[in-house]
Amino acid sequence: MAKNNNKKVVPESGKALDVLKYEIAAELGLPVGKQAANMNVEFATELGLLPSHSIKEDYWGHIASRDAGAVGGTITARLIKKAEEMMLNL
């Protein structure tokens, strides 16, 4: 398993970023999160490939790099827009 070396400037932001990530993925129509995990578990279990407890809900391995990059790019764009709005209101 790959080690994540990304360190957040504000560690408490992790949960908010995850919410934003899954929100954007849903807007883009990407099958990730609980709904996709449940779908993958049911399908794999029906095929007898694996027990239902072995798929993690935050697995993104089936998502194309281009689509995952689109999620990251959209997150960045929204955060920049929010920061610009905050700076205008100072």
pLDDT in tens, 7-22: 778 888 888 888 899 8
User: What is d(CA 51, CA 41) in angstroms, rounded to the nearest whole number?
Assistant: 8
Is the CB of residue 78 less than 8 Å from the CB of residue 20? yes
pLDDT of residue 5: 75
Mean pLDDT score, 74-85 = 95
User: What is d(CA 36, CA 17) in angstroms, rounded to the nearest whole number?
Assistant: 19
User: In whole angstroms, how far apart are CA 35 and each of 9, 10, 23?
Assistant: 30, 29, 13
Please give the structure tokens belonging to residue 23.
Answer: 């929100």
pLDDT of residue 18: 86
The pTM is what? Answer: 0.64
Helix extents (H) in the chain: 14-27, 34-46, 65-88
- Read off the pLDDT of residues 43-77 as tens digits, 9 standing for 90 and up: 555 555 544 444 456 778 888 999 999 999 999 99
